[in-house]
Amino acid sequence: MLLVNLWAIQNDPKIWDEPSKFKPERFEELGDGMREGFKLMPFGTGRRGCPGENLAMRMVGLTLASLIQCFEWETFLNEKIDMTEHLGLNLSKAFASQVQYRSHPTMLNSLSQI
Ligand code: HEM
């Protein structure tokens, strides 16, 4: 079995400018569904690459946009969210965030009909 260290590739400063910074604009020039070669492979690649990639790329954006558009989010006491990474086979946050949310006033009508 071959395990590729994607974390190392995706955090390599020789490949990415300031790899640990949140810079979504670095992907702006990529068209819909286009890849960044072998520099970014969240869905694997080749024959065993993820067949759900196109669906996932649409659903993740749609779900995130819906959550932002429909609800107002805040942390308790307005503390900053700790984005420290927990290193393991999968990358997750080291500390869970506690947030509270309420329906956005302009969305109340639509949400109450779901
Ligand atoms: C953000 C969402 C997703 C991520 C990050 C993701 C990531 C991956 C990765 C890394 C692999 C292994 C690829 C490899 O071995 O090279 C994989 C395989 C697979 N994924 Fe996804 N996936 C996602 C969503 C989905 C969805 C929505 C579906 C189906 C509707 C799906 C179905 C599959 C299947 C069936 C495989 C196994 C393919 C094979 O072994 O031939 N995935 N996925």
Residue 62 beta carbon below 6 angstroms from any ligand 1 atom: no
Residues 2 and 47 in one domain: yes
Q: Mutation test of ligand 1: which of 43, 64, 89 has the most ligand atoms closer than 8 Å to its C-beta?
A: 43
Residue 50 is assigned to a ligand binding site: yes
DSSP letter for each residue of the chain: -----HHHHHT-TTTSSSTTS--GGGGTTSPTT---TTS--TT--GGGS-TTHHHHHHHHHHHHHHHHHHEEEEEGGGPPP--PEEPSSS-EESS---EEEEE-GGGHHHHHT-
**Domain assignment of residue 95, yes or no:** yes
Q: Which atom of ligand 1 is nearest to the CA of 60?
A: 1
**Domain assignment of residue 64, yes or no:** no
Residues 1 and 43 in one domain: yes
Residue by residue, pLDDT tens for the chain (114 residues) are 888 888 898 899 998 999 989 898 888 876 555 566 778 888 888 898 999 999 998 999 999 999 999 999 999 888 889 989 898 888 889 999 889 999 998 888 887 887
Residue 49 beta carbon below 6 angstroms from any ligand 1 atom: yes
Domain count of the fold of the chain: 2
pLDDT recorded at residue 69: 92
Residues 1 and 47 in one domain: yes
Q: What is the domain range of residue 33?
A: 1-51
